[in-house]
Amino acid sequence: MKKEIKFSLLYRDMWQSSGKYQPRVDQLKQIAPVIVDMGCFARVETNGGAFEQVNLLYGENPNTAVREFTAPFNQAGIQTHMLDRGLNGLRMNPVPADVRQLMYRVKKAQGVDITRIFDGLNDARNIIPSIQYAKEGGMIPQASLCITCSPIHTVDYYVRLADQLIEAGAEEICLKDMAGIGRPYSNGQIIKGIKDRHPNIAVQYHGHSGPGFSVASMWEAAQNGVDYIDVAMEPLAWGMVHPDIITIQAMLKDAGFLVPDINMEAYMEARRLTQTFMDDFLGYFIDPSNKIMTSLLVGCGLPGGMMGSMMADLKGMHNAINLALTQQDKPEVSLNNLVIQLFKEVELIWPMLGYPPLVTPFSQYVKNIALMNIFSAAKEEPRFSMIDKDSWNMILGKMGKLPGKLSPEIVELAKANQLEFYEGDPQDSFPNELEHFRTEMKENAWDEGPDQEELFEFAMHERQYRDMKTGAAKNRFNQELEQAKEKAGTPIIVKRPVVEIPMFSFEEITKEYPFAKPVHAPIKGQLIWQYDLMDASTAPFEGSLIDKGDNLCYIQNIYGIEPVKAGYGGTIVGTYVKQGDQVEKGQILAFIN
């Protein structure tokens, strides 16, 4: 008789890999008891970084959502787990140690049993503190191996990393195959290597369907001793998500593994409810392309969970790239051609950047650099002409040690920009902050909440928490939803909006200013002409002079505030975006002559 294999439902991740938003707390309360009734899940993923930020974007309190969603599973004896980005906690950028430490006490009190800790660079220094904090907070620390395929990321590499994390106190190991590009045989051998050395350590496999390896990887995982397999369910399975529970359960049952039966009446009810959530509003923000698998991902290794945002970036940059090509008397490119160019560019630059596993946030950084390289080529400028601040922090080692060596070209570029490489512990650069937030909460008469959960949320997601408290987030979401409904009509699922070039005549501008060149937004976010947001009167204006390398403006996004530098000196002869406007990557902000 073969061993028992248990299943974990990734209800949160199903939504994240499909579109922009996830169910509201009232919808989570509806679906939770039905998931329990399905009777086939030993675990359910109930929260994580994007989950809590989405609640805040709605204007909802994520602490309420986590408590309400975990409660039925706690009562039924089903373990709950969350996704935890190690040094980055529940956000995209590094978190002070005292905030990280508080997180585990809060999440345990809210009903979360297991924390799945990962670091996008597989730097154990960013994972090990979280293992200790989780133990102190009463949670089960599950350390993750971010799976990718490169000359560096071998079976031996991953088995040795698992040894290090288990020695540091990890009670479980997860193979986080975030792009689904881990080769099935190698995935199986990694699990076998871990189980041979640590037979009492539970191993869980998590693999996205995107490039098509996932079912084969789950088969190899089962054959080599895996304990838990992550699955999804219709109508959100497959595509860029995960295989459906029905398929995986049937495959393993036929092979003689001990797997639980599925209550199909409850399955169909959960499927129906999930569809009603899509019909209600969530479907407006699901890109249809995320329901499709593509073998093109095998080469570039980009994760399924970021395909929606990647396509939005490409659509936003499409016009800007074609405008640049037109200026150089070159033919325009189609969106499909641009997708292929991006995949090829990622394949090219990934080794040059030290093979960072393409998972949040490093997948975004590599993709951003690749996209800006394509844009630079269209303008006949050198590769790596535009690298954003956060991508530089990755390159310089401020977020952890890159698995491979940087190419000499990248090293020389850093030196030319007078940038210093960092070899210390990344956490040392981010001092404790809880007292600062505690003081401000007292000044605002804000309650720290039960188990200090409000203090934690404020410290973890400062900007989004403020918007939730003031009502700005709810108003913004309601406006976005109304706009989506107006554009959609029928059907529910619509494409993400394409950012159009502002209404101006390029020919007229170049006729009056023959050397005028556009300045494009390098990232999406809120446009800030004046850094402190207090006085826009001193911001650059039409007719003012600017030197090459000067800050023209700033863009605030989820990573922080990014300066937009002038690529050339001259006179500002046109500005097209107002203070506080939302801009998309590639959008024209101004012209310099």
Q: What confidence tens digit (pLDDT) does each residue in 236-284 have?
A: 999 989 999 999 999 999 999 999 999 999 999 999 999 999 999 999 9
The beta strand positions in 390-521, using DSSP E, are 517-520
Residue 494 confidence (pLDDT): 33
Average pLDDT over residues 201-206: 98
Helix ranges restricted to H, 471-560: 472-488, 506-512
Helix ranges restricted to H, 211-334: 214-223, 245-254, 264-280, 297-300, 307-327
Give the N- to C-terminal CA distance of the chain in Å, as an integer. Answer: 76
Query: Are 87 and 427 within 8 A, CB to CB?
Result: yes
Evaluate if residue 307 carries a pLDDT over 70.
no
Query: What is the Cα 177 distance to its own chain's centre?
Result: 14
Nearest to 314 by CA among 336, 292, 291: 336
Query: Are 259 and 7 within 8 A, CB to CB?
Result: yes
The CA distance from 240 to 14, in Å, is: 9
Confidence of residue 490 (pLDDT cuts 50, 70, 90): very low
Amino acid at 9: L
Query: Are 456 and 102 within 8 A, CB to CB?
Result: yes
Query: Are 416 and 549 within 8 A, CB to CB?
Result: no
Confidence of residue 141 (pLDDT cuts 50, 70, 90): very high
Residues, the chain: 593
Strand-pair partners of 7: 229
Residue 558 confidence (pLDDT): 61
Structure tokens at 99: 């905030």
Cβ count near 449 (within 10 Å): 17
Contacts of 263 (CB under 8 A, 6+ apart): 37, 38, 39, 40
The CA distance from 522 to 587, in Å, is: 8
The CA distance from 96 to 429, in Å, is: 9
**Which of 13-22, 176-185, 416-425, 571-580 shows the lowest mean pLDDT across its residues?**
571-580
Nearest to 233 by CA among 243, 223, 225: 243
The CA distance from 290 to 282, in Å, is: 14
Query: Are 81 and 45 within 8 A, CB to CB?
Result: yes
Peptide bond into 184 cis (omega under 30): no
pLDDT tens for residues 23-50?
999 999 999 999 999 999 999 999 987 8
Evaluate if residue 539 carries a pLDDT over 60.
no
Residue 541 confidence (pLDDT): 61
Region class of 59: left (phi > 0), else alpha (psi between -120 and 50), else beta: left
Provide the mean pLDDT of the chain. 88
The CA distance from 498 to 319, in Å, is: 9
What is the DSSP secondary-structure string of 7-38? EEE-HHHHHHTTBS----HHHHHHHHHHHHHH
Residue 17 confidence (pLDDT): 87
Query: Are 583 and 527 within 8 A, CB to CB?
Result: yes
Helix ranges restricted to H, 489-569: 506-512
Residue 296 confidence (pLDDT): 80
Considering the entire predicted model, what is its pTM? 0.83
Query: What is the Cα 251 distance to its own chain's centre?
Result: 31
Evaluate if residue 491 carries a pLDDT over 50.
no
Evaluate if residue 591 carries a pLDDT over 90.
no
Amino acid at 408: P
Comparison of pLDDT for 452 and 521, the residue scoring more:
452
Nearest to 22 by CA among 79, 83, 87, 88: 83
Amino acid at 187: N
What φ, ψ does residue 241 adopt, rounded to 5°? -100, -130
Confidence of residue 319 (pLDDT cuts 50, 70, 90): confident
Domains of the chain: 296-428 (no CATH), 434-488 (no CATH), 506-592 (2.40.50.100)
Confidence of residue 348 (pLDDT cuts 50, 70, 90): very high
Helix ranges restricted to H, 110-183: 124-137, 155-167
Q: What is the CA angle 490-493-498, rounded to 5? A: 100
